[in-house]
Amino acid sequence: MLCRELPWAEPGAAFQALAGNGPLVFLDSAATGDPRATTSYIALDPLAVLRLKEACELPPWLAEARPQDDTCPPDWPFAFKGGAIGWLGYEAGLAQAGIGSRHAPISGLPPGWFGMFDLVLGFNHAARRCFALAADRPGASAASRIEALAARLATPHSLPVLPSVAWQAELPRPDYEARVERLRAYIAAGDVYQANFTARFTAPRMAGFSPAACHAALRARSPAPFGAFIDTGAGLALCSTSPERFLSVQADGHVEARPIKGTAPRHADPVRDAASAATLRADPKERAENLMITDLLRNDLGQVCAFGSVQVPELFSVESFAQAHHLVSAVTGQLRPGLNAAALLLAAFPGGSITGAPKHRAMQIIDELEEGPRGAYCGAIAWIGLDGAMDSSIIIRTITATPDMLYAQAGGGITWDSSPASEYDEMMLKLSPLIAHG
């Protein structure tokens, strides 16, 4: 592989110059000033593509699709050193758990998609430095691929104007609140302690709709540290401004999960905003909800981590984003010898923060009460590097674009103490940047 520094370009501007000729992935840490948002990546021209039907197809494909030239040069200054990037949809996890869904799959949306990338741009936000990484291909040297990429970056490009989107709720407010009550009845009966209930908004995909323009508008409204844009090149795209890391793995096997459970609104007035964050941190219901999911993640990591290595170094921290404060904890561990990032991803998938506890029963109840399939939503976007490292996000705050339809979805964790009216308001707070202004 070859590494070369290129003239600095803002990640958003580089994305604008390169979008439109998928497959392309933009791992978009757009939350300016956020300590988690230091690096962005654009990967394109994949060596191989996987449209998976089952989650178990991912590990063998990672081995089969691995490029021959897989040695990253020492001057490449980023954690992702080339490899696979893609997503697993929520229903892939449902099937892996042996739970049959009552919902028909979303037309045109596979259970998951990954590309194996050996052409990557890395952006160091603080240093304002941009590097390209490329491998030789038959008929195209690494140097020539980087030169062609640099030429595209130097050519100004504008995205189409985003047309207005006619979003429609699948569940009116009274029906949403009634299903929250049904979920509370399951909690009262002892089926679950908590479950994540969501609602979906849909819209026909109109002529001229540009997923790239959609992502550019969404990242401007709601910049996030774990944002991502994935264009499969077949009329299918994800536009995500997720605030939630799912799992990260270092090349030495150190694991971290950062579950989010607990939400409070932001305020323009600093005093009110600080009070909102403090109230969230002290709220017994939100703390109990976060603790349940933190325990669930401890159990998930325990399946693949060394005995005694799973720890909770951070509990009930408040992290602040454009529209909301969230309560976040951290769970860490060390992978057992012989296990890798893909094994961890499948063991913990789907994330406990968007299922509930106990996970299996919560997923059954979710399928019963929600109006349609989740699709990519509540799955995971991940990069899995050639050196064994991985980082991933939970697919929330995301618009899914299929060739015919658009989908936006949000929700929250329901406990016995939940107020149906408050849960609906929280769901709409999370949904607001997705359905505002088209």
Catalytic sites, residue numbers: 244, 261
Given a contact cutoff of 8 angstroms between Cβ atoms, the answer to whether 414 and 423 are in contact is yes
> 211 near 235, Cβ under 8 Å?
no
Residue 221 near residue 322, CB atoms below 8 Å = yes
H helices then E strands: how many in the chain?
11, 22
28 token code pair: 């978009």
Asked whether 46 and 91 are in contact (CB, 8 A), the reply is: no
Residues facing residue 382 across a β-bridge: 86, 392
Work out the burial of residue 57: count CB atoms within 10 Å of its CB; fewer than 13 is exposed, 13-18 middle, 19 or more buried: middle
Alpha helices in 119-244 (DSSP H): 142-153, 173-188, 211-221
Distance between CA 414 and CA 179 in Å, rounded?
11
Query: How many Cα atoms sit within 13 Å of 228 on the Cβ side?
Result: 30
Give the residue from 235, 247, 255, 366 showing the smallest Cα distance to 310: 255
The DSSP secondary-structure symbol of 22 reads S
Tell which residue, 236, 217, 225, 229, has the closest CA to residue 375. 236
Give helix 284-302 / helix 341-348 axis angle, nearest 10°.
130
Beta bridge mates, 314: 330
Q: CA–CA separation, 200 vs 370, rounded Å?
A: 9
For tokens 């009274």, the residue is 174
Sequence-distant (≥ 6) Cβ neighbours of residue 32 within 8 angstroms: 125, 223
Q: What is the DSSP string of 322-383?
A: SSEEEEEEEEEEEBPTT--HHHHHHHHPSPGGGTEESHHHHHHHHHHHSSS--TTTTSEEEE
The greatest distance separating any two alpha carbons of the chain, rounded to the nearest whole angstrom, comes to 65
What is the rounded CA–CA span in Å between residue 4 and residue 121? Answer: 10
Structure tokens at 19: 């979008």
CA separation for the pair 110, 105 (Å, rounded): 8
